[in-house]
Chain A
Amino acid sequence: MAKVTIDGISIEVPDGTTILQAARMIGERNTADRHVVPPAMCYYSKLKTSGGYCRTCIVKVTKGSDKDPRPMPKPVASCRTAVMDGMEVANTTDPALIDARNGVVEMLLINHPLDCPICDQAGECHLQDLSYENGKEASRYEFERRTFDPIDIGDTIKLHMTRCILCYRCVKVGEQLTDGRVHGVINRGDVAEISTYISQAIENDFSGNMIDVCPVGALTDKTFRFASRVWFTKPVDAHCNCENPKCSGNAVLWMKGNEVLRVTGRKDMWGEVESFICNTCRFDRKDVNAWTIEGPRKIDHHSVISQGHYQLKREQALLASPAPNVPELAKRKELKDR
């Protein structure tokens, strides 16, 4: 076991845990401490060898370990750096580090089209959250942005390379979940792009998970494109007995009325899919009768999706209703305190 202190909050973690995982453990232990968790755009705990590319999760190691207390000279990628016993890490407490991270976010945004108003990912986009928390109000970049034409990389997935931040997550999905990767990164530098092998389409039965792991709107579900803004839909937990043995069958249905607009995997508090689902569940099982509904999906209250959450509708009506009686008053107080 190793003891690590992040922004003054300590936790004991098993050896080999990365700084980011340790920070997430702190956040899971007490949600009030979630500010110690560095943002991660490319790291994905379910995908091996992911992480280290986007540099948003950089942290300052102010004390290496009990044995070797020297601080590390450069900021390190917390998703790829293992903790040492007695390590001390600054995430939000070091102004120089925050400045460096803001720089990374600025770099990620200079060639991003910022087309959120017409992007299907808006509302559940990690880059939106990231730039809201760490970005500037205006860009200092005054040149023409790099653009690509949107392309179909399969029957069900649309690629908007312009929006991509090259996190490599979809490449890892292709490598680790499907039976043969047919897409990857071609070219170099700021014209590097995700592309399929010459005239190949992504057809594997698990390829849809690329959409879920994509932190931005680069990979979108063609069966859902422009159907609705996500915050106008009702997310419902549901499961089915999928015949595909690799598929967990645990999904979220994004519904409007009785219509299933979209099916995705269930995402945890760090925005990662809890268990992967197959393409049949995702793209073809759009009939609500094919699913066993479990109940409303809990969406983090910071998310815009929860703004239109029907679960709150009843409670809000209660809050606004005139002339409350005594039990209702108690209930109202309870809701307000929450």
Chain B
Amino acid sequence: MGRKLLFQHIDKPGIRGLEGYRANGGYRSVEKALKTMSPEAVLEEVKKSGLRGRGGAGFPTGMKWSFLAKPEGVPRYLVVNADESEPGTFKDRYLMERIPHILVEGMITSSFALGAKVSYAYIRGEYFYVARIMEQAIAEARAAGWLGKNILGSGFDHEIHVQVGAGAYICGEETALLESLEGKRGNPRIKPPFPAVKGLYDCPTVVNNVETIAAVVPIVNDGGEEYAKIGIGKSTGTKLISAGGNIKRPGVYEIDLGITCDEFINSDEYCGGVDGRAFKAVVPGGSSVPIVPYEMFLKTPTGENRLMTYESLSEGGFAQGTMMGSGGFYAYNDAQCIVRSTWNHTRFYHHESCGQCSPCREGTGWMEKVLERLEHGEGRTEDIDLLWDIQRKIEGNTICPLGDAAAWPVASAIRHFRDEFEYHVTHREKVKDPKHFAREPFRKSAKFATA
């Protein structure tokens, strides 16, 4: 049984309310930070903890915070990215639904470290009920004196605002989120300047994921060094993984970074193995990260066991590795059609592209149309190479990472499952049957990079 830092008290009765949360040691980190620590000391603890951004990119949080510009007379902001829209990811929702005060607490403590008097929680539009839960938690905290002027007599003022988005995937990109928060069209900004210098309302801003900010609570409570003892190498602490797909036990799990992938996917404590058939492929970090065949997910290119860490998952590069991403884990069994799944992913990115820069605006739609043709038994052999070429021309040429996110699933699907794409060309009549794949599954997926 792994340690629980964020989920320690999640099943206690009344944990959603302030009283229940407080009874289980809530708001200790605020007391500790505001009464006994300086903002620099809190930042130092976060740096020591080795905490990395939990939203997908895995950038060290302490370093991000230390980049924050601190000009005189200009306010600074903390913005919490609760626009959790990565397909397959639902960890932040679970956290905010069940234990909203941990986020409020993390926001107060983090804002103290950053010197931010106001912080914002930007919650995706589909989570409107979560926004209500958060607003209630904030109102409770304010009534109890955890928010407002001169908190705990320390002279630190803080206010939290909740803003609900309108359901655009692109608003999870930090600069698009800031634009949307300012009331503008959610188009990503061109970087530099980075938000740490010019963010919300042109003021220095830190944008962090919900889970990152929540993790600040145990870090301040127990000390950064204690947190850094969990995990391996540069992947420290615990990570929430929302697991789904063809597994026996879907759900949100808090894992110690560093357990083996085999343990995570097959042990009864976590995913509990495949439901009935055999695993074919795994997407470990949300739909944007490369899909990998099951065997490749278990073993690194050097034959060692792959671990659930940032480094180990990306070992082997794009040819044989994948990424930790946001922790939206899903697995496919051998009855699933990879072409259909890739088409579905691409359809999503086509729909969610903001339309600002040309490769993503036009390329995502083109990929979707080609994949649709393949999936419906009207494709040609050249289409596979065409797809490869389109994704290659999107990746790296766009303003924001959405272009890359749209390209990687297509690239990895062709790389590892080219045989399925070819099957769709050679067996046109068969694939016209909508249940084609469940009836005639492939025995084994391609093991190595082809294209």
Contact surface of A with B, Cβ cutoff 8 Å: 51-56, 58, 73-75, 77, 80, 99-100, 103-104, 106-108, 110-111, 140-141, 143, 165-166, 184-185, 187-192
Contact = CB atoms under 8 A, between A and B. Distances in A.
A51 B356 CA distance: 11
Given A104-B358, A188-B170, A192-B361, 9 more contacts: A53-B356, A54-B358, A100-B396, A104-B397, A106-B393, A107-B362, A107-B363, A110-B362, A189-B353
Interface residues of B, number: 30
Interface in B398-436: 398-399
Q: Interface majority SS on A: helix, strand, loop or mixed?
A: loop
Contacts, number: 94
A99 B90 CA distance: 39
Contact of A107 (B351, B352, B393, B396): B393
Interface of B: 168, 170, 185, 190, 350-359, 361-366, 369, 386, 389, 392-394, 396-399
Contacts of A53: 356-358, 399
Contact of B397 (A51, A75, A189): A75
A107 B386 CA distance: 13
A106 B392 CA distance: 13
A55 B359 contact: yes
A53 B170 CA distance: 16
A190 B358 CA distance: 9
Contact of B357 (A54, A141, A143, A185): A54
A90 B392 CA distance: 20
A111 B396 CA distance: 21
Nearest to A187: B355
A53 B359 CA distance: 10
Given A55-B357, A108-B358, A103 B393 contact: yes
A187 B352 CA distance: 11
Nearest to A82: B192
Contact of A190 (B361, B396, B399): B361
22 contacts: A54-B358, A55-B399, A56-B358, A75-B397, A77-B190, A100-B396, A104-B393, A107-B359, A107-B362, A108-B358, A111-B365, A141-B366, A143-B366, A166-B356, A166-B358, A166-B361, A187-B355, A188-B170, A189-B350, A189-B352, A189-B353, A192-B354
Contacts of B361: 107, 166, 189-190, 192
B393 A188 contact: no
The 9 residue pairs across chains A and B that have the minimum distance between CB atoms:
A103-B393, A192-B355, A107-B362, A189-B353, A52-B190, A74-B396, A190-B365, A189-B355, A143-B369
A96 to B, nearest CB: 10
